[in-house]
Amino acid sequence: MKLPRKQSTSSRTLRTVLPVHVRTIFSSSTIGLDNFKLAREQYVSHHSPSIDGFKKRFLDSVNKPDAQIFTEDLRNMIMSADSDEEIDAVIQALRKYNSNKLKFTEYHFGSPIMRLLYIRNKPDLAMKLFMDESLKNIFNDSGSALILLNKLVEDKRYDDAIKIFEYGMQRGFSTTSGRAYPTDAVILVVEALYRQNTKQSLAKAKELVTKIIERDADINPRTAAMIALLAIQHNESSFAMEIIGALRSPNLTTIQNIRAICYAEMGRAEEAINVVHLLADQPPIDNDYRRVFPLVLQHIKKVVEKSKDEDLKTRFEDLSKFVSENNRLSTTDLSDFLNEPISRRPAIATGRLGVQQVPFLRQQRNR
């Protein structure tokens, strides 16, 4: 089938259909969206005199069965595609390119394609490509999974996010770090399970964390926190306690707050009060006095109110007063804190004309 050609786009700014006010699990810079969009704008600006001719030749190459797709051409078309027809051409070219046995480059197209489909709001197409066995060598890297999972969770398509991760687990992720389950992708699938908040999602989370610990030895604190809160919501505080106990950094403020909730839920109010007291009594770090989440005090209060121990009630009243008067109570509660976007790494390395360089792609695959 021949692809229709689109009229000149070089005089216009590349369009994106990414919603303006959308919360992303990982910040747009972390998954490379900001720099990807900037690189596309720079590419079009630098090549505006010749971009229409390039697109015409590219479409001709796609429509000719015996025409070769060159790495540079496919990369440049990803940087300039601005219509559904042109994106379809990129995908067809990718299939032809992937079937070519003769390649002399390490450039990996998985993440750039996923970013293109992200900003064009095409998660269904992204899922289809990710699960296409003929393209598994293109999209089996953890960076591709991270970008797709982030989009699905952002769109509240939790079942699809879980489906993609389970498919990736079965097929295997390509990571240079040697981890069987890439850390960032695990955070996102656990986010999906946490937001589903069902007994079934808790069961899946248990199964997943068991596999992670067996293969990769440790879990991320944010992952552990979400699983623990999910367990607490379904009256499994003992499991939550075991999860946070498996962390290499058990003294993080968030984890200590969850530990206090677990103690309270298990009827060990005095130990819960001790944990919160230690948290509140520590000197502030970077002028942040807010160490105790309101949810924790709510759980302890519920247990204390049922107790006949007056000393325990007095201790809790004193603790609540100390936390309040010394500005140790967080204005953001625990669940909202866990929902805050993750932003940590430089987003992307750019080379000439802002085009993506391979080192960034390798960096994402390390996770």
- The β-bridge partners of 26 are 342
User: For residues 224 and 34, what is the distance between their CA atoms, to the nearest angstrom?
Assistant: 29
User: For residues 41 and 48, what is the distance between their CA atoms, to the nearest angstrom?
Assistant: 10
Per-10-residue mean pLDDT, the chain, length 367: 45 39 68 93 87 90 87 93 93 90 73 96 97 92 94 95 94 81 92 95 94 81 94 96 88 92 96 94 68 94 94 96 90 87 50 36 38
What is the DSSP code (8-state) at residue 102?
A: -
Which alpha helices (H) appear in 17-132, and where do they start and end?
33-47, 51-63, 71-78, 84-99, 110-119, 123-130
Which residue has 């607490």 as its token pair? 232
Distance from the Cα of residue 157 to its chain's centroid: 13
What is the DSSP code (8-state) at residue 133?
A: G
What is the DSSP code (8-state) at residue 289?
A: -
Secondary structure (3-state) at 352? helix
Q: Break the chain into its structural domains and give their ranges.
A: 218-343
CATH level 2 (architecture), domain 218-343: Alpha Horseshoe (1.25)
User: For residues 59 and 6, what is the distance between their CA atoms, to the nearest angstrom?
Assistant: 10
Which alpha helices (H) appear in the chain, and where do they start and end?
33-47, 51-63, 71-78, 84-99, 110-119, 123-130, 136-139, 142-154, 158-171, 183-196, 199-216, 221-233, 237-245, 253-265, 269-281, 294-306, 310-325, 334-339, 358-365
138 neighbors 94 (Cβ within 8 angstroms):
yes
The number of C-alpha atoms within 13 Å of 281 and in the hemisphere containing its C-beta is 8
- The β-bridge partners of 141 are 174
Which residue has 């003929």 as its token pair? 134
User: For residues 191 and 179, what is the distance between their CA atoms, to the nearest angstrom?
Assistant: 20
Burial class (CB within 10 angstroms; exposed 0-12, middle 13-18, buried 19+) of 349: middle
Query: Token pair of 202, please?
Result: 């808790």
In Å, how far are 44, 82, 101 from 14, measured between CA atoms?
8, 6, 33
